[in-house]
Structure 1
Amino acid sequence: MTGHVVVTGGRGAIGTAVCDDLHRAGLTVTAVDVVPTRTTPPYQQLIGDVRDLEAMTAALYGVDAIVHCGGLASDRKGHEHDTYDINVAGTCTLLLAAARSAVRRVVHLSSINALGCVGPGTPAYLPVDDEHPHTPISPYQLSKHLAEEACRQFADRENATVISLRPTYVIHPADPARVGPGSSDLYAYVDIRDVVQAVRLALSADLTGFHTALLAADDLWGGHQLDSVLARDYPDIPWHDGTTPRSTLVNCSKARSLLGWTPTSA
């Protein structure tokens, strides 16, 4: 892809990695966040809030695509209203600005949490895939589910293309303090470099309409073996796809088929 891309949440861990990668790929990049980056990046940055319709409309004028990374990344106990306001209302406002500015491609950083099958939730079956029923439990999970529905509506109403990427537990190799996912997260993880790869592929994929794509590595975090964790942690959850269990509890076949994505980092 060529052109101009706005990245919301440009100061966040995922947003920064996306901005750096797209800039290296030769795209014009504008990072939007409520606070400036600590250093001066080699691309444009704007201070703005995704809930500000006029500011977002102005920021998107003449832009070819949006990568929407902005939002809260987890629950805020006692501040659930912030989760809904930023993640849901912010996404809806950004999409309205996109409609006003005639931007017709959006890559939305959602989460496996939109399905409600991790954390406080329980999978209906394994491996979890993109067709898994949505049963959000926490405010954060509900916010991700509702943001995806807003993206679906925008794609249908505006004849646009929106890909909601659903990463599992994102691992940043430069962070030595990472703990990693456990049984409640299906031991599923994805390297930030593979998330960035998925974003780049989603920006140029020959697609129309609304699509989702789970992102996970081809193995379990911490060297866990699938047969062992199935027997120990998930004995009552049925295996869904009729195949012999292999190495992971998340089925990323849609990311592979729609985007040509393959996790490469370990």
Structure 2
Amino acid sequence: MVPIDVAPPVSLPLSDRDGLISVCAGADVVVHLAARMSWQRTDDAALFETNVLGTANVAEAAALAGAKLVLASTGEVYPEGQPVYQPLDEDHPRAPTSAYGLTKKLAEDTVDFYRRTRGLEAVVLRFSHFQGRRRTARPQQLLLGAAVLPAPQDTRDLTAGVVAAVETPGLDGEVIGLGADDSADFDWLVPELARRAGLDYVDLSLPGPAVHYTTSNAKARNCSASPLNSPSPA
């Protein structure tokens, strides 16, 4: 049996600094998973308010509580579709190409600021394109001919990575990428899915090279933050 916190949930906006301070008081660890996601320019201000100012409020609350902070960041802090090298690791240049990615980069910098100036213990996890069960992995990218396709991972593996970051000591100041060991090529994945579902499929030849990118989880393995595993054609 695993003990769980049976305290009732509390719902409040990230803009409620005093409320966050009250909720986080007495906590040992604060896991900051809340974020606003959008790729519409009309949402840029809301993205900044939630992902940057909201993160500052959470960091303030965690620092006052003397709690460890685990920040959920994203692979979109990297240049989406334009990797300098592969697999992408934590040292890859951060050069976001979307407002969402920019706000998450600023969220990382905000947490680092609180580490350096307020003594906050914190670890940043960069998530790499996760999908829950029965969720599609941005199929519109295939239809629109996206130049670079991500390799989505399973949210159940992601949860294991977050728990490991909470429980593993000595991670203060670390940035850890959570991604799969390898990617599943569509040339293998589509026939395999069709076989398991008992469905027919049609081969299509699209113009241009088949380009994709993957992320490295070597650091996650080395520091015991649980790596994530994707299917392979073995």
Judge same fold: TM > 0.5, yes or no: yes
More strand by share: 1
The percent of aligned pairs where both chains have the same amino acid is 23
TM-score normalised by structure 1 residue count: 0.70
- Cα 1:129–1:265 change in 2 (3 A) is closer
The answer to whether the aligner puts 1:263 opposite 2:223 as a matched pair is no
AA aligned opposite 2:16? D
- Cα 1:258–1:185 change in 2 (3 A) is farther
Tell me the alpha carbon deviations over residues 160-205 of structure 1, each in whole angstroms, 9 at most, x when there is no partner: 3312111111111143x44467665543221101110011000011
The answer to whether the aligner puts 1:59 opposite 2:23 as a matched pair is yes
| Shift, 1:136, TM fit | 1.6
CA contact (8 A) 2:127 2:178 kept: yes
The answer to whether the aligner puts 1:210 opposite 2:182 as a matched pair is no
Alignment of 1:100-111 (within 5 A): 100-103=64-67, 105-111=68-74
| Shift, 1:100, TM fit | 2.1
| Shift, 1:147, TM fit | 0.3
Q: Could you tell me how far apart the structure 2 residues matched to 1:49 and 1:108 are?
A: 17
Alignment of 1:103-252 (within 5 A): 103=67, 105-115=68-78, 117-118=79-80, 121-175=81-135, 177-179=136-138, 186-221=149-184, 223-224=186-187, 232-234=209-211, 249-252=214-217
| Shift, 1:254, TM fit | 1.2
Q: Could you tell me how far apart the structure 2 residues matched to 1:144 and 1:157 are?
A: 20
CA contact (8 A) 2:123 2:171 kept: no
| Gap runs ≥5 in structure 2 | 189-207
- Cα 1:75–1:259 change in 2 (3 A) is farther
CA contact (8 A) 1:151 1:210 kept: no
Q: Could you tell me how far apart the structure 2 residues matched to 1:159 and 1:144 are?
A: 21
Moved over 3 A (4+): 177-186, 221-225
- Cα 1:186–1:60 change in 2 (3 A) is same
- Cα 1:259–1:224 change in 2 (3 A) is farther
Q: Secondary structure of the equivalent of 2:88?
A: coil
Q: Which has the larger radius of gyration?
A: 2
| 1:27 counterpart residue number | 4
| Gap runs ≥5 in structure 1 | 1-23, 30-42, 226-230, 236-247
The answer to whether the aligner puts 1:84 opposite 2:61 as a matched pair is no
CA contact (8 A) 2:74 2:126 kept: yes
